Structure 1
Amino acid sequence: MKLVKIFIFFQFFIITLFADVNLYIKDKVVKGEPLVFTLEISGNEIKFPDLSLIEGNSVQEISSSISTNVINSEITKVIKKSYSFIPTKDFIFPSLEFEIDGKKYHTDEKNIILEKASKTKSDIFDLSIKTDKKEFYVGENFILKIVFKHKKDLQIVGLALGKPNFENFWYKQIDDTKRYEENDFSVIELKFLMTPLKEGNLTINPMLLQAQVMDDSFRSFFSTTKDVNIYSNELNFDVKALPSNIKLVGDFEIETTIDKQKVKHGEAISYKLKIKGTGNIDDIPDIKLPIKDVTIYENKPEIKTYISNDKYEGTYEKVYSIIPNKSFTIPSINFEFFDKEQQKVISKTTKSYDIEVEDAEKREEVVLEKAKDENKVLESKEIIVEKISFKDRVMFFIFGVLFTVLVFSIYFYINRYKNIKKEELKPLSKKVKETKTKTELIKILAVYMKIDSRLDELIYQLEKVEDVNIIKKHILKILKELKL
């Protein structure tokens, strides 16, 4: 018995000896990049802690593997798992508790520091962000270029540009990617349309490009790759506020047209407004016409934009339909924007239009014709009245009755024939839709048995159900396919 206890104790000692927990984690990470940590646990029965959240950050499992070790005839399971999350500030990575083969193990705490990204310096690749200017006004558009260079002989398997973090900027990628060669480098150039949303000193942080390149450090028959993070420079801007009550910056032209200036009562006038130019044309508000005592129908403004010579250009068009009750004036529209070249607010005004409405109630003089004095000659005629006997009257009455009966008979016969013909020509689908009961539906469809197996099956189902509406839908669908 003692030998058994000693054997059990020895076995437990061996298992415990091989139980272990190792945490692999870096103590520094670039802000905005995922922090990856790996846990390697040896044992047989292993209980993991809850790793869904660390420091309030959502944790994702990115890889997992299980292997076995055999030491002194003892088999031990080894679990290796990797996780990642994106921290937002410096923090202490907590101690993690594991239960392995009935015993608790703890990892050590780690102090994690977030570093600011800095431009990657390399002889084989380079990532840069550029603009023509560094001073802008709120709402002013400009082009940001992202330029990636790499040695021609560098074997790149894949490229992935990190999601831009253009805080305090509105942005849109322009479909104008360029590829060219410059000395010993291959160059890829991307463009973004940028708009500052607030005044002050604004910064665009270094951008991240993840490259997967062939790794020549391993001399073997098998090709291997490695991931490389490449950072750009950062850009700082001085953004100024626009003058009070001004939201547009650029250079614009405005014009209006009408189709007529003289209309009849209740007739519509078409009034068109068009603005074109360079600048933040998307920010032009929906322009209303301040006209009283008229009915105005208006479309939503149609805005079209495009890039031309690295400038954001476009048009704003809106059409109004005006129905007046009386003569009136379409007032001028005052349009203001800030011209950066002239460093002042420009005000442009459209012309006004005087609209004349004709009086719809035109009075017409009524001329009464005088009666003509004409001598009318009255001619006297002799009227001969033939007397009809009583017998003839009876005969005429009988013939009249027979003729009336004949006319009505012909009318009803023709009307009934038309209805029968119409019923015969009525499409089967329409007949099915008009049925009210199961019996009517079966009666109509019975003659169409053996045409389609699906239709036959639905007809058989009709006899077993009370509510035929659902089956009727399926029948109509099949009849539509069969063109019945």
Structure 2
Amino acid sequence: MIITNQKKMMAMQIHGNKMIWKLLFLVLTPFLVLYASESEIQVFSYVPGVEIIPLDTEIVAGNIVRLKIRARGDRVAFPNIDEIDGVQVLEQYERVTNKYHYINGVLNREKTTLILTFAPHRDVTLPPYSVEIDGKIYKTKPYTIKVIAANAQNAEDGNKFFIYLETDKKFSIVGEPIIATLDISLKFGLNLLEKPKYGKPLFKGFFSKMIGDEKVYTKGNRQITEVKYLLIPQSEGNFNVGPARAKISILNKHKLDMFGRVTKADVIPIASRRVKVEVVSKTKESDLVGNFVLKNSLDSTKVQAGKPVKLTIKIEGDGSLEDFEFPDFEIDNVTVYNEDAVITADLNGTTLHSTYSKRFAFISNRNFIIPARSISAYDTKSKTVSYLKLPSYDIDVKGSQAIAIRKSQDKLIRIDNKQKSMLDSEDEEYLSEAPSLPYDHWLTMVLVFTLGVLLISILYVVISLYRKMTYFYRESEALKILYAHTSESKEVESMVKKLYAKKNGDKTVYIDKKALKLLVECFVSKLD
């Protein structure tokens, strides 16, 4: 009876559990269906499109902005963007996010991002960009970025770092020097991993060269790193100088190792604005642009045939001489040598002062003339052309060409006669003039031979001594020598017994090689 009641109770419990599961299933089924449908919509909802995702809506002038244009689609073609509202794009590249969706059983890529890097110095508005996605055109929405002026005092105090690029001229002529100044400004208190890294700015259309070394100085609560460049426009037109870029590595206090030390740094790129420079052609053609003088010196106007005459030329003044080359000399029957020009450039305040020096050497066996030269220089202030003149020089070569030729012919005749007599073996004169070794030469040979013999003898003695010192007698050989002297000392008797024991196969016997050698050499020396 008890067992029957227990079975009934167990059956009721099982039936109750089933009812609970059924109720849970009925209650949760609508939610599961809704969740599944939403998940399916989320997974399989695929809407092609494009959008702009700026990193910041407000930046400080000179700081770099990375603009992201994100497109959803399998095949994405972005437009080529060189400028954004008149601001040059410094860098652009695409990045694909490795997320995929299944659409009607087809695997499709989700996101492709175009990243544009630029450095605005004013408010810029991003225009609508057309992007082709899976064969259709989609457009972005316009977007405006607010820029705070970096040269304002309040912005400067609040900005930790920025970079300036300026030129001393916004209007120039072809060949006229322009000084570009790059300043990297850092606010005191920055925890830098290393000094700022900067590269040479973009100077397209200009000959460029760094002037001097970088200068570091303090201004207010900031440290300024200053670098100056010489720019020489090569053609007329409107040009953009820069931008200049730098990287600042700031220690991140939130990235510490187990000992509390900062281990990582945040690398922040910054860029300067571009400077527009208008370049026009000169109103008058000239070799140089600037105010210069020419000095020259000649070591002599009279020289022996075959000896050089040296001419030194030096041009000095305000302006650039970097791309100038003094014209070469071409003179008949004269060999002309020249050295590479030495060019220097320094800043005298805001004015570029340059020097150009070059040396020539003239060699001939007859009289000749160093021709005159004239170099034109355009003065930008007076807009006139002046001329730097090198006078001509008459060079008197002592020893005429006929004398030089006759001497050379006589020398050739003597050489020919000597060669002819040497070929004739029966000529008594040739035999009498046969070359012989001088006395000092024989003495040298004897000394060398004697030293060689002496060196070999010394080497032989050294080798013999070394072999004797390092030679150890064989035990059988030592036994024969020591056996005859067994009764002469206890040491010899003991050594002979050990040698016999080892000879008979006793491996426990130890024989000191050095002691054996000393004993044997005592009797060997007596025999000798």
- TM norm structure 1: 0.52
Q: Secondary structure at the match of 1:17?
A: helix
Q: Distance in 1 between the 2:143 and 2:204 partners?
A: 23
Q: Distance in 1 between the 2:109 and 2:165 partners?
A: 46
Q: Displacement, 1:213?
A: 5.2
Instruction: Extract unaligned runs of 5+ from structure 1.
Output: 1-6, 42-46, 69-75, 99-105, 365-484
- 1:60 maps onto 2:93 in alignment: yes
| Residues 328-385 of structure 1: per-residue CA shift (max 9 Å, x gap) | 3222222221344665322222232212243244599xxxxxxxxxxxxxxxxxxxxx
Aligned pair partner of 1:317 in 358, 367, 378: 358
| Structure 1 residues 429-444: aligned runs within 5 Å | none
- 1:84 maps onto 2:120 in alignment: no
Aligned pair partner of 2:343 in 304, 310, 334: 304
Letter in 2 for 1:110: T
- 1:171 maps onto 2:192 in alignment: no
- 1:149 maps onto 2:185 in alignment: yes
- 2:139 is matched with 109
Shift in alpha-carbon separation, 1:206–1:323, aligned structure 2, 3 A: same
- 2:75 is matched with 49
Letter in 1 for 2:213: D
Shift in alpha-carbon separation, 1:313–1:35, aligned structure 2, 3 A: same
Letter in 1 for 2:158: I
- 1:294 is matched with 333
Maintained 8 Å contact 2:62/2:272: no
Shift in alpha-carbon separation, 1:198–1:115, aligned structure 2, 3 A: farther
- 1:386 is matched with none
Q: Distance in 2 between the 1:117 and 1:196 partners?
A: 32
Moved more, 109-118 or 148-157: 109-118
| Structure 1 residues 251-266: aligned runs within 5 Å | 251-263=291-303
Aligned pair partner of 2:52 in 6, 10, 25: 25
Structure index of larger Rg: 2
Maintained 8 Å contact 1:260/1:269: no
Shift in alpha-carbon separation, 1:40–1:307, aligned structure 2, 3 A: same
Maintained 8 Å contact 2:69/2:113: yes
- 2:377 is matched with 337
- 1:37 maps onto 2:68 in alignment: yes
- TM norm structure 2: 0.48
Q: Displacement, 1:248?
A: 0.7
- 1:390 is matched with none
- 1:277 maps onto 2:316 in alignment: yes
Q: Secondary structure at the match of 1:194?
A: strand
CA RMSD of aligned residues (A): 5.2
Q: Distance in 2 between the 1:18 and 1:32 partners?
A: 39
- Report the identity percentage: 19
Moved more, 201-210 or 348-357: 201-210
Q: Distance in 2 between the 1:165 and 1:116 partners?
A: 26
Q: Displacement, 1:93?
A: 3.2
Q: Distance in 2 between the 1:96 and 1:79 partners?
A: 11
Q: Distance in 2 between the 1:243 and 1:268 partners?
A: 45
Q: Displacement, 1:11?
A: 7.7
| Residues 290-345 of structure 1: per-residue CA shift (max 9 Å, x gap) | 53x32333336423324343635232314243325x43322222222134466532
Shift in alpha-carbon separation, 1:288–1:227, aligned structure 2, 3 A: closer
Maintained 8 Å contact 1:92/1:109: yes
Q: Displacement, 1:85?
A: 5.0
| Residues 55-104 of structure 1: per-residue CA shift (max 9 Å, x gap) | 48896345756699xxxxxxx999766443579x9673314239xxxxxx
Q: Distance in 2 between the 1:184 and 1:215 partners?
A: 22
Q: Secondary structure at the match of 1:140?
A: coil
Structure having the higher helix fraction is 2
Q: Distance in 2 between the 1:252 and 1:287 partners?
A: 17
| Structure 1 residues 142-291: aligned runs within 5 Å | 142-155=178-191, 159=196, 161=198, 164-199=201-236, 204=241, 207=244, 211=248, 225=266, 227=268, 229=270, 231-232=272-273, 235=275, 237=277, 239=279, 241-263=281-303, 267-278=306-317, 279-291=319-331
Q: Aligned residues, how many? A: 330
